[in-house]
Amino acid sequence: MSPPREADPPGVRAADTVLSVLETVAWAGEPVGVTQIAQSLHATKSAIFRHLQTLVDRVYLIQDADTNRYRLGPRAFLIGHLAPRSWDLAQTLEGPMRELRDEVGSAVVLSTPTPRGALVVSTLPGTRPIDIGVRPGSELALHASAQGKVFLAFGSKALSDRVLQGPLTALTARTMTDPNDLAAELTRIRDQGYATAPEETLLGCNALAVPIHDHDDRLVASISLVGSIQHITAVPAPHLIAAIRLLAEKASRMLGQGLGTRAVTAADRQR
């Protein structure tokens, strides 16, 4: 997670930090200590400890009495349990994602848009001996990832306008840092229907991403193949493009794409 922004008011920074602490523990995959959390968030142990104590007091976290490490508590699980299952994209798409992974061998990644990036919500690792993927909970840069470019190309104009105002941070020597180049890239993505980011986030790695829409034809997620530049080339093989498009179409249908439009049209005919 990104550290709190200094320009934010103190209350906003405190809220940002406590949420970052909670997310760090949730996505660690095992109990973690205060030092590890502080290093991950580029903060002091004393500052993080205060937030940890608040989360423990509210039972969002539990501290192990023997190791002093932290893990998620009952209240965090309760909130997750209360979330509407109809919006659990990862669960809805697990079967189709697994089928695609088994077909092509590369990792399959589901991401949702945030104001600052593409949030990875689910990953199915590839089947090759050497695998390249991303962990759930990772937030990928909008301008330097295939998933992020999908959100810029097919999402709100306000989001793309803000990102195109810069600055665009170079993550590798191949990252697009010129807003004009990125704007032209987004036009190409809209025309071709998919995005790539060859070695723009990590050298040797590429991704091929397409959009997923819901029943109101709103962009809600992207589905992508992630792997070595050897297997997902800068210009992806046609069978990979066809396979990821097929999955996106299936996912959008499962979420009811077009139903909202058809419902309005039917209602209009009845008037």
Convert the pLDDT of each residue in 235-256 to its tens digit: 999 999 999 999 999 888 887 7
Residues 6+ apart with CB under 8 A from 200: 144, 145, 171, 172, 174, 175, 176
Residues 211 and 186 both lie in one domain: yes
Residues 139 and 59 both lie in one domain: no
| CB distance 189 to 153 below 8 Å | yes
- How far is it, in rounded angstroms, from Cα 188 to Cα 35? 45
* 150: exposed, middle or buried (Cβ count in 10 Å: 0-12, 13-18, 19+): buried
Residues 125 and 242 both lie in one domain: yes
Question: Residue 2 falls within a domain, yes or no?
Answer: no
The structure tokens listed for 218 are: 């709103």
Residues 56 and 108 both lie in one domain: no
Q: Between 12 and 41, where is the model more confident?
A: 41
- How far is it, in rounded angstroms, from Cα 224 to Cα 226? 6
Q: Which of 81, 113, 128 corresponds to the end of one domain?
A: 81
Residues 221 and 247 both lie in one domain: yes
Question: Residue 76 falls within a domain, yes or no?
Answer: yes
Mean pLDDT throughout 31-39? Answer: 92
Is the per-residue pLDDT at 1 higher than 80? Answer: no
At residue 185, the 3 state secondary structure works out as helix
Residues 6+ apart with CB under 8 A from 130: 228
Q: What is the mean pLDDT of the chain?
A: 86
The structure tokens listed for 265 are: 């049209």
pTM: 0.71
| CB distance 89 to 121 below 8 Å | yes
Give residue 11's pLDDT: 66
- How far is it, in rounded angstroms, from Cα 38 to Cα 240? 41
Mean pLDDT throughout 16-26? Answer: 88
What percent of the chain is predicted at pLDDT more than 90? 56
Q: Which of 81, 97, 127 corresponds to the end of one domain?
A: 81
Query: Whose structure tokens read 């920074």?
Result: 13
Question: Residue 14 falls within a domain, yes or no?
Answer: yes
Range of the domain at 16: 10-81
Is the per-residue pLDDT at 79 higher than 90? Answer: no
What CATH number is attached to the domain comprising 157?
3.30.450.40
Residues 47 and 162 both lie in one domain: no
| Interval 171-224: pLDDT, tens | 999 999 999 999 999 999 999 999 999 999 999 999 999 999 987 888 999 999
Our count of domains for the chain comes to: 2
